[in-house]
Amino acid sequence: MSEPPAGATLRLWAREQARLKAGVIEQDTEEWQKDSSFAGLERVGGVDLSYIKGDDASACASLVVLSYPALKVLLVDGNGLLHHRGFGVACHLGVLTDLPCIGVAKNLLQVDGLARDELHREQIRSLQTEGDAFPLTGTSGKVLGMVLRSYNNSSKPLYISVGHRVCLETAVHLVKSCCRYRIPEPIRQADIRSREYIRKHLCSPLEVISSGPKRKEKETEPDH
């Protein structure tokens, strides 16, 4: 078990996160976003992080680029061990590269888990029954993101937030168009590869944990 990051390191990360947040543009800025079919969009990418149960210092990040709209894997990168897990998680990759990006949390919202209050719990229960989507608001009333049931047979919703150069409506539309299963295909493919690397090189399958909170993965089958 490694030591937690020093206070100076945490403050550095907080300043970097604040800097990146200040640069986020929450509106559509690209030509392909103006067409409902996203004509002109040719590539989509996904990033996932997997780590070892009980190891607070090491992780494997994977970046996968797919064609759009066919969603065929074109590029896989990042199959290597990282240290000091959490540094990259706090960063908006779209801000770093000045490309449009979307935030998708695979397991953030659960009926009996991290729903903020009873109203949200009731909304999530309804969502799981009706297959709808609804905005998630903070205490100030600001819309923080959208809760989405992305796949007909799924009982778990996704949380979608704007990242950079994408409005929330476009973000939800794009995520839906990338879902063959519950998890958007770019993230699902990255998740499969990051967990597979750790399985082969570092530990047994039961010890692999994906970037979703407390999620143990035993196989690489599609996540419904």
pLDDT, tens digit (0-9, with 9 covering 90-100), for 56-69: 767 788 889 999 99
Q: What pLDDT score was predicted for residue 136?
A: 78
Q: Indicate the pTM of the whole model.
A: 0.76
Write the pLDDT tens digit of every residue in 176-219: 999 998 899 999 999 998 888 888 876 655 556 666 544 444 33
Q: What pLDDT score was predicted for residue 84?
A: 42
Q: Kindly provide the residue ranges of all beta strands, DSSP E only, lying in 35-180, ordered along the sequence.
A: 43-52, 58-67, 73-83, 101-105, 133-137, 143-148, 158-164
Q: Please give the C-alpha separations between residue 24 and each of 94, 101, 122, 211, in angstroms, as whole numbers.
A: 9, 10, 31, 23
Write the pLDDT tens digit of every residue in 161-171: 888 999 999 99
| Phi (first) and psi of residue 103, to 5 degrees | -95, 130
User: What domains can be seen in the chain, in order of their start residue?
Assistant: 7-209 (3.30.2170.10)
Q: What pLDDT score was predicted for residue 207?
A: 59
Q: Kindly provide the residue ranges of all beta strands, DSSP E only, lying in the chain, ordered along the sequence.
A: 43-52, 58-67, 73-83, 101-105, 133-137, 143-148, 158-164, 208-209
How would you list the strands of the sheet with 73-83, edge to edge? 73-83, 58-67, 43-52, 208-209
Encoded amino acid at 11, one letter: R
How would you list the strands of the sheet with 101-105, edge to edge? 101-105, 158-164, 143-148, 133-137
**Average pLDDT for 151-166:** 81
Handedness of CA 215, 217, 218, 221 (dihedral sign): positive
Q: What pLDDT score was predicted for residue 116?
A: 54
With contact defined as beta carbons under 8 Å apart, do 64 and 46 qualify? yes
**What is the band of 223 on the pLDDT scale with cuts at 50, 70, 90?**
low
End-to-end alpha carbon distance in the chain: 33
Write the pLDDT tens digit of every residue in 98-108: 788 888 886 65
Nearest CA to 41 among 60, 26, 23, 28? 28
**What is the band of 53 on the pLDDT scale with cuts at 50, 70, 90?**
confident
Element (H, E) at 188: helix 185-201
Rounded Cα gap, residues 201 and 24, in angstroms? 37
**Average pLDDT for 125-143:** 73
